[in-house]
Homo-oligomer: A and B are copies of this chain.
Amino acid sequence: MKAEIISVGTEIILGNILNTNTNYLSKKLWEIGIDVLYHTSIKDDPKLLKEVLNIGLERSDLLIFTGGLGPTSDDMTKEIVCKTLGIEMELNKRAEEDIKEYFNRLNKPMTYTNIKQAYLPKGAKHLINEIGTAPGVYIEYGSRRIVLLPGPPKEMALMFNKYVVPLIKQDYIIKVKTINTIGIGESTLETVLADLIGNQNPTVATYAKEGLVDIKIVAKGHNTERVNFLLDEMVGKISSRISEFIYSYEDEKIEEVIVNKLRRKKIKIAICESCTGGLITSKLTRVPGASEVLERGIVTYSNISKIEEVGVKRSTLERYGAVSKEVALEMARGLYDKTNVDIAVSTTGIAGPTGGSELKPVGLVFMSIVTKDNSYVIKSIFNGDRESIQNRASIKVFDELRKIL
């Protein structure tokens, strides 16, 4: 099946937002064995919508539209698709209920423009939107399939995975395994796995995100046993070469792995952050269940808060400066002593863009971890802008925690 992804949105065409939906859908379609041939983007414009729909119908079997299902007058994807295909629209009671329910929950009045969203093409399948107001649509039109999904990435992804995938899945088996690594660079990884990356089935590819690299293995076949065998064999090969850098075989975020390990081992943790400014705590608390393991977090941004909150000595601050291994250690030690946790973590560094010196450049970060029996201090120098330095430091902390756990 040949697929085309069509993004509708003036903000995409003007370059105001990055088209992450297309990227997401491409990956997902490919994983279920569907060949994506074209990405097309246009603004919310009836003439262009009609034009790309007609081109798409000629050359692709599956057209996935994202965007233009909102309540306002410039949202017209559904209307133009129906008009072009000659399909009438009718009020869908279930969709209307959902939208009313949505506004009820928020305790907000529903504007009359939202009712427009409940009109769906006759005979089409209604794709329920559980977290927004725009329902999706699945249309079979001769040999073509047309899917309309809302633009907000979370709504789009949820609806695509829950409702669209079962409708379009191919009859041969494709399985994907993602191995998550930490602490190894992408080029090193590619060198170590060079022969495997050249493989045909399963294929192996690497995807780098700040400080983390994912390895995606995709196996195809006509029966489950064969596909599982191919996958397991490849996982084994990769694992034997780089096992110490693998933190998950389940495609998880590093903070999820940390929170779940802590939960399983019933270990309590507390975090004292300076340069990372709450990012480590915030990442941990994004994981459901974090409240079982995270006892507290403290962002000791001022010197006085380092003294008051975690008992850093004034003399240590004066002698070594706030960005020093001594202060990092006293922060973690003080936090450990003050709370009833098993692990205390601290960070102090220079996130920039200013505040660096020759001796203590922007990007210098000290991290400390204190447990009942041990205490560690790690020094790193990270590259990039303020956000990047904060992010890389948080990932480094998670990597160190992983090793300890």
CB-contact partner of A296 in B30, B41, B191, B299, under 8 A = B299
Does A1 sit within 8 A of B, measured CB to CB?
no
Does A170 sit within 8 A of B, measured CB to CB?
no
Q: How far is the CB of A244 from chain B (nearest CB, A)?
A: 18
Tell me the residues in window 42-95 of chain A with beta carbons closer than 8 Å to chain B beta carbons: 42-43, 48, 51-52, 55, 59, 70-74
Cα A288 to Cα B362 with chains together (Å): 12
- Do residues B301 and A290 form an inter-chain contact, with CB atoms below 8 A? yes
Q: How far is the CB of A203 from chain B (nearest CB, A)?
A: 9
- Do residues A352 and B282 form an inter-chain contact, with CB atoms below 8 A? no
Tell me the residues in window 358-392 of chain A with beta carbons closer than 8 Å to chain B beta carbons: 363, 381, 383-388, 390
| Partner-contacting stretch, out of A8-16, A141-149, A224-232, A325-333 | A8-16
Contacts of A294 in B (CB 8 A): 277, 299, 301-302
Q: Taking CB as reference atom, which chain B residue is nearest A209?
A: B17
Cα A388 to Cα B387 with chains together (Å): 20
Q: Taking CB as reference atom, which chain B residue is nearest A384?
A: B131
Contacts of A390 in B (CB 8 A): 285-286
Does A105 sit within 8 A of B, measured CB to CB?
yes
Does A114 sit within 8 A of B, measured CB to CB?
yes
Does A27 sit within 8 A of B, measured CB to CB?
yes
- Do residues A383 and B105 form an inter-chain contact, with CB atoms below 8 A? yes
Does A319 sit within 8 A of B, measured CB to CB?
no
Does A161 sit within 8 A of B, measured CB to CB?
no
Tell me the residues in window 267-297 of chain A with beta carbons closer than 8 Å to chain B beta carbons: 271, 276-282, 284-286, 288, 290-291, 294-297
Contacts of A277 in B (CB 8 A): 281-282, 284-286, 290, 294, 297
Cα A106 to Cα B392 with chains together (Å): 13
Contacts of A320 in B (CB 8 A): none
Query: A199-223: contact bitstring with B at CB < 8 Å (1 yes, 0 no)?
Result: 0000001110000000010000000
Task: State whether A23 and B13 are in contact (beta carbons under 8 Å apart), knowing that A187-B113, A297-B301 are contacts in the complex.
Answer: no
Q: Taking CB as reference atom, which chain B residue is nearest A107?
A: B381
| Partner-contacting stretch, out of A32-40, A119-127, A233-241, A397-405 | A32-40
Does A20 sit within 8 A of B, measured CB to CB?
yes
Contacts of A24 in B (CB 8 A): 15
- Do residues A131 and B383 form an inter-chain contact, with CB atoms below 8 A? yes
CB-contact partner of A301 in B12, B295, B338, under 8 A = B295
Does A165 sit within 8 A of B, measured CB to CB?
no
- Do residues B40 and A13 form an inter-chain contact, with CB atoms below 8 A? no
Cα A290 to Cα B19 with chains together (Å): 31
- Do residues B383 and A106 form an inter-chain contact, with CB atoms below 8 A? yes
Does A298 sit within 8 A of B, measured CB to CB?
yes
Does A339 sit within 8 A of B, measured CB to CB?
yes
- Do residues B23 and A36 form an inter-chain contact, with CB atoms below 8 A? no
Does A342 sit within 8 A of B, measured CB to CB?
no
Cα A13 to Cα B25 with chains together (Å): 10
Does A242 sit within 8 A of B, measured CB to CB?
no
Does A309 sit within 8 A of B, measured CB to CB?
yes
Does A300 sit within 8 A of B, measured CB to CB?
yes
Does A186 sit within 8 A of B, measured CB to CB?
yes
Please give me the 4 A-B residue pairs with the lowest Cβ-Cβ distance, nearest first: A277-B285, A15-B26, A297-B299, A15-B27
